[in-house]
Amino acid sequence: MKKWLLLSMALYSANVLALPRENPVPGGIVHIPIAPLSDPAPIVQYAGNRVTVVPQDSQWLAIIGIPLDTEGDTQNVNVQGQEPIAFPIQPKQYKTQRITIKDKNKVEPDDESTQRILREQMLQQQLKTRFSVGEAQLDFIKPVPGRDTGRFGLKRFINNQPRNPHSGMDIAAATGTPVKATTAGKVIHTDDFFFSGNTVYLDHGAGVISMYAHLSEIQVETGDIVQQGDIIGKVGSTGRATGPHLHWSVYLNGEAVDPALFLSNKK
């Protein structure tokens, strides 16, 4: 490719970021123009959490994650120093998935396990709602190649008992398959959790967080800086899993959103 063409593409891309696709449903994403780029970057909040804001064309654009349990059709986003902005969402019925887990304690945890689960849920809540200053990285790749076996949002029955809806994408892959960072970021936590097993959390800036679960091996440490495609661990079946796969979650303003929305413009 000629040099001048590369240069003009670079200039063109300055304010045209790769963005996740919009889908105004529970578990989806909404884009809301907030202010002209000539204004300082606005501070935006939704449902009590800070919202990712990116420069796009000539505007500051809020990229809002809609909680899976949202009810009603009109939502409000708060902008510091402005009136709230109302926006519509549509209902969505997610399908039901039935799973059988052999380890009974992973389905009906004993008291000791319950205490551990509560501690881990508090920590995970802090990790997914983390908002660090800086530019958001939103140009994602799929962390492992493979078939999506558990789609985001499925209503789950585990051993016939209702459980939380599925908060990520499950990708089938053999144990040991390298797991790649979906985009550049910082490792903010690694752990062995009761449900998600060996888990890595990455912070991609300004409220964009990704999480990788059930790993057989973790190959990064808290504080590491990773580039897109860097290997962070290996596929496994640790925690509550029916078999080897990667569970991949993406959080915007602390809410799990459908990771597929970040990949829909990719091959």
Shortest CB 150 distance to Zn ion, Å: 5
Show the binding pattern over residues 102-141: x = contacts Zn ion (CB under 5 A), - = does not: ----------------------------------------
Instruction: Please state, in angstroms and rounded to a whole number, the distance separating the CA atoms of residues 12 and 66.
Output: 30
Measured between its terminal Cα atoms, the distance across the chain in Å is 21
Among left, alpha and beta (phi > 0; psi -120 to 50; other), residue 30 is beta
User: Which region among 57-65, 178-186, 223-231, 243-251 touches Zn ion (by CB under 5 A)?
Assistant: 243-251
Shortest CB 168 distance to Zn ion, Å: 5
Alpha-helical (H) ranges within 106-181 are 111-128
Beta bridge pairs of residue 256: 251
Tokens of 212: 């990788």
Tokens of 153: 């949002």
Shortest CB 172 distance to Zn ion, Å: 11
Measured from the CB atom, the residue of 54 and 241 that comes closer to Zn ion is 241
Shortest CB 248 distance to Zn ion, Å: 8
Give the residue nearest to Zn ion (CB).
247
Instruction: Please state, in angstroms and rounded to a whole number, the distance separating the CA atoms of residues 168 and 212.
Output: 9
Per rule CB under 5 A, count of chain residues that contact Zn ion: 3
Distances in Å between the Cα of 255 and the Cα atoms of 18, 27, 69, 168, 240 are: 20, 8, 10, 11, 21
Q: Which of 238, 247, 250, 251 binds Zn ion (CB under 5 A)?
A: 247
Instruction: Please state, in angstroms and rounded to a whole number, the distance separating the CA atoms of residues 119 and 109.
Output: 14
Shortest CB 213 distance to Zn ion, Å: 7
Beta bridge pairs of residue 199: 191
Instruction: Please state, in angstroms and rounded to a whole number, the distance separating the CA atoms of residues 52 and 59.
Output: 14
Q: Does 240 bind Zn ion (CB under 5 A)?
A: no
Measured from the CB atom, the residue of 170 and 203 that comes closer to Zn ion is 170
Contacting Zn ion within 163-182 (CB under 5 A): 170
Q: Does 214 bind Zn ion (CB under 5 A)?
A: no
Measured from the CB atom, the residue of 13 and 121 that comes closer to Zn ion is 121
CA-closest candidate to residue 176, choices 220, 222, 227, 219: 219
Shortest CB 149 distance to Zn ion, Å: 9
Q: Does 258 bind Zn ion (CB under 5 A)?
A: no
Which residues of this protein are in contact with Zn ion, per CB under 5 A? 150, 170, 247
